[in-house]
C-alpha cells in the first residue's frame, strides 16, 4: 500500500456509500459509522511468506494512511503472527529476514505531515461528496 492508495480507498468508500445508501442510511453512516482501514504486513500466512512483501516505506505509508482515514481504529492483519507483530517469539520467524524495522513502524504509528495529505484526510473524515474522477 501507499498513502495515496489508502486515502483514495477511504474517499471511494464514502462516495460509494453516499451513492448506494438512502438519505436516512447515509445520515446514520455519517453520525455513527466510520471506515476502518488497515494493512496486511505479512500476508495471509506469514509462515509461507519469505519476507513482508512490501518495503518499510510502503508499510510506513500504509500505516499512516490507515490512521488518517480511520476515525475510531485501524487494523493490522495478524493471522498466525500476532506475537511477532508485538515483538515476541521472533525466533518463530525463521526466514532470516529482519522484521525489526517493520515492527518499529507499526509501534511508532506515525501519520503523514505533508499538508496535502493532511487536508485530504480531513476532507475524507468529514465525508464531503464530490467527483473524484478528473474529466
Mean pLDDT by 10 residues, the chain (135 residues): 82 88 90 84 59 80 88 75 73 74 89 89 74 46
pTM here is 0.75
pLDDT at 124: 83
pLDDT at 20: 93
pLDDT at 135: 41
3-state helix, strand, coil in the chain (%, to 5): 55, 5, 45
Q: What are phi and psi of 42, to 5 degrees?
A: -120, 20
Amino acid at each position: 500500500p501507499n498513502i495515496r492508495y489508502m486515502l483514495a480507498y477511504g474517499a471511494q468508500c464514502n462516495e460509494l456509500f453516499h451513492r448506494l445508501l438512502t438519505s436516512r442510511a447515509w445520515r446514520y453512516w455519517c453520525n455513527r459509522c466510520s471506515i476502518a482501514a488497515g494493512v496486511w504486513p505479512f500476508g495471509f500466512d506469514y509462515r509461507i511468506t519469505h519476507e513482508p512483501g512490501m518495503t518499510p516505506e510502503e508499510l510506513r505509508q500504509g500505516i499512516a494512511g490507515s490512521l488518517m482515514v480511520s476515525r475510531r481504529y485501524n487494523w493490522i492483519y495478524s493471522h498466525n503472527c500476532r506475537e511477532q507483530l508485538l515483538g515476541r517469539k521472533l525466533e518463530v520467524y525463521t526466514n532470516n529476514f529482519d522484521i525489526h524495522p517493520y515492527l518499529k513502524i507499526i509501534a511508532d504509528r506515525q501519520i503523514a505531515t505533508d499538508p496535502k495529505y493532511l487536508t485530504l484526510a480531513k476532507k475524507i473524515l468529514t465525508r464531503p461528496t464530490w467527483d473524484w474522477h478528473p474529466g
